[in-house]
Amino acid sequence: MSRVLFPHDKMRPIQEGMVELISDLVHKKKHGIIHAPTGLGKTAASIAPTLYKALDEHKTIFFLTSRNTQHKIALDTVKQIKEKFNIPIQATDFIGKKWMCIQPGVQLLKTNEFGEYCKALREDGQCPYFEGMKTGEKLSANAKIAIDELSNLSPVYIEQTMEVGNKYKLCPYELAQNLAKSSQIIITDYYYMFHPSIRNKFLKKINKKLENSIIIVDEAHNLHDRIKDLASVQVSTIILSRALKEAKKYKLTDIEETISNIASILRLLLGTEQEKYIEKEKFVKLLSSITNYHEFTEGCYRHAEIIREDQKQSYIGALAYFLDSWIGTDEGFTRIISRKKGIKEDTFTLSYRCLDPSIIAKEVLTESNTVILMSGTLTPTDMYSKLLGFDESKTEQIEFPSPFPHKNRLNLIIAKTSTKYTTRSDAQFQEIAKTLVQVINATPGNSAIFFPSYFLRDQIYEFMSGVEKTIFKEEAEMNRDEKEEVIKKFKGYKKTGATLLAVIGGSFGEGIDLPGDELKTVVIVGLPLTKPDLETDALIKYYDEKFGKGWDYGYVFPAFNKVIQSAGRCIRSETDKGVIIFLDERYAWKNYSRCFPQSWQMEISVDNYEQKIKEFFKNNK
């Protein structure tokens, strides 16, 4: 067997370098933080060397990605390897347990609510799909047939697991867990490995150990934020209002008054301010003055279990989970109360926010054989290493250059306008709009314009008369179907040209592919730097104390990462040719220009940008 199970006939030179690096890291039990630009072939380059190790030394690969499209690419890669080398490989696909459930209506539940609901059904023997999996302590005849059927399909895509689960009236999640026991590679979401309680239960169920795991994290620039979100909780007056209605519905007079009082406590704590920091003990003391904090929390948990038997979800249960979490550690966390303006009344939210993802990631990094972070926007790599708590002596950091010829892309800074708050005016918006119209009309095909916010998008759009192409607009609350419909229509204009007006960090800023002639020009308008809120201030202070780089790690680099993600919608394959424009004078300032990937060749223009665009497309038909 080859030491590298590469699925294709040949490797690109840069791809070969990545394969060799990962092979060496796995052999030495070290970690890697890899900036690997779009088009390098990261999925094949990471699976090929690690899969050999998994087969040879009985390791398990966990390929973590939050994108459904990437699940398919990873599974397709395993399938190609299996067919090329004619070797037995078992691969299993997992998504969130809630989304694998075939109980009617559960997709409407929040994750925590679903977990409690599922647990209650299983413990009470009320889930026929779970009950059908076993006869006594052994797998049922139906379960054995279903698992055999899926095993013969390996790699097993989530759609296949769901289909077989429906066919035999069995729990798809339980079927996948049984398959995972014999799998060398498992494709799943970040939280299966980086949420401590979920990870421990998951690994125990599939008979795997962290020490025998090779973890590949795709799109890893999102990992630190995802971990922070997993470790954070909040409760709002909206949740409390619903919990109060629930208490009245089920005649829970013992907790009714206390729930109402908690809403009053939130209003009292904030007063007339928009947001402020709150000490843990201050909230605990106020609640303890009207009830026993721990007894009330436990009572809410008990009531929630009964409520979920009747209506699946419980807001009282959500309150109990928050109160339990609130008394957690202070180190690496901040506590904030805030107000959001409403049409009828304001919403007050009390949050316990994680600032330090390394607290959660530490066990994974310490115990795993190898952890590979990879992304096309993983710069500076040193920041991700520090934020997640990698041991520098056991970690390699590398930035691979783009595999695309430089001549295929024009990276242009138009340094003559700004969206900086102090410079905003109708005259400034008019100048930005004029430039955008010139860029759009100079592009022989589709263009996408990304703005720092919907507000700025709409302000500038008012002055965008003279656009000679159809315009599509991203809306703030688009669902998946609406988003897909917009992209489908937008792609249909690739010959005549259309313009998509979107938002940096919004629905279209990441996770969409528009290769070839589907997108010719991307314009990033301004920098998405807003006035820091209290959580950002807390991050800046925390990272300053820990790393001496609070402003960079807590404010500048996260904003710039969103910029690079949006810019990456252009040039998705080595034959693509396109223009990426950064429309703001600040991109030419040293403090921000240093944030561009080292391999990017940036040009600066003030007045001849239109000619540069036309010449580029003339020379790159």
> Are 373 and 482 contained in the same domain?
no
Residue 201 lies in a domain: yes
Residue 95 lies in a domain: no
State the pLDDT at residue 566: 86
State the pLDDT at residue 508: 83
- b/e 70-95 (16+ beta carbons within 10 angstroms → b): bbebbbebbbbbbeebeeebbbbbbb
In whole angstroms, what separates CA 87 from the centre of its chain? 33
- b/e 424-438 (16+ beta carbons within 10 angstroms → b): eeeebbebbbebbbe
Which residue do the tokens 């080859």 mark?
2
> Are 526 and 604 contained in the same domain?
yes
186 strand-pairing partners: 62, 92
Angle, vertex CA 200, rays to CA 199 and CA 202, nearest 5: 65
Q: How many secondary structure helices (H) and strands (E) does the chain include?
A: 27, 20
Which of 249, 296, 250, 313 lies closest to 116, judged by CA?
313
Residue 115 lies in a domain: yes
Q: Within 13 Å, how many C-alpha atoms sit on residue 499's CB side?
A: 21
> Are 508 and 378 contained in the same domain?
no
Question: How many domains, in total, are found in the chain?
Answer: 4
> Are 385 and 435 contained in the same domain?
no
Which residue do the tokens 């499209």 mark?
69
State the pLDDT at residue 40: 83
CA distance 377 to 583: 20
Identify the domain boundary among 403, 423, 439.
403
Identify the domain boundary among 163, 183, 203.
183
Helix 253-270 / helix 293-311 crossing angle, nearest 10 deg: 120
> Which residues of the chain fall below pLDDT 50?
1
63 strand-pairing partners: 187, 216
595: CB partners within 8 A, 6+ apart: 379, 556, 557, 560
Residue 260 lies in a domain: yes
> Are 204 and 73 contained in the same domain?
yes
> Are 497 and 614 contained in the same domain?
yes
What CATH number is given to the structural domain containing 485?
A: 3.40.50.300
Structural domain harbouring 40: 1-89+184-231+357-403
259: alpha, beta or left, given left = phi > 0 and alpha = psi -120 to 50? alpha
What CATH number is given to the structural domain containing 247?
A: 1.10.275.40
Which of 486, 502, 385 lies closest to 436, judged by CA?
502
Residue 574 lies in a domain: yes
> How many beta carbons lie within 10 A of that of residue 298, not counting itself?
14
Per-position DSSP letters for 531-583, written without gaps between them: PP-HHHHHHHHHHHHHHS-HHIIIIIHHHHHHHHHHHTTS--STT--EEEEEE
CA distance 598 to 587: 15
- b/e 111-145 (16+ beta carbons within 10 angstroms → b): ebbbbbbbebbeeeeebebbbbbeeeeebbeebee
**What would the pLDDT profile of 311-322 be if each residue is shown by its tens digit?**
888 999 999 999
> Are 176 and 246 contained in the same domain?
no
Residue 553 lies in a domain: yes
174: CB partners within 8 A, 6+ apart: 129, 130, 133, 143
Identify the domain boundary among 152, 183, 214.
183
State the pLDDT at residue 568: 79
> Are 161 and 306 contained in the same domain?
no
Q: In the numeric block, which tokens belong to residue 247?
A: 């208490």
CA distance 65 to 158: 14
Which of 110, 327, 357, 318 lies closest to 229, judged by CA?
357
> Are 495 and 600 contained in the same domain?
yes
> Are 410 and 399 contained in the same domain?
no
> Are 190 and 175 contained in the same domain?
no
**What would the pLDDT profile of 412-437 be if each residue is shown by its tens digit?**
999 999 999 889 999 999 999 999 99
Q: In the numeric block, which tokens belong to residue 612?
A: 């540069």
Per-residue 3-state assignment (H helix, E strand, C coil) for 153-208: CCCECHHHHHHHHHHHCCCHHHHHHHHHCCCCEEEECCHHHHCHHHHHHHHHHCCC
> Are 149 and 204 contained in the same domain?
no
Residue 598 lies in a domain: yes
Residue 94 lies in a domain: no
State the pLDDT at residue 511: 66
Instruction: Enter the pTM of the model.
Output: 0.91
Q: Phi, psi (5° rounding) for residue 100?
A: -95, -5
State the pLDDT at residue 105: 86
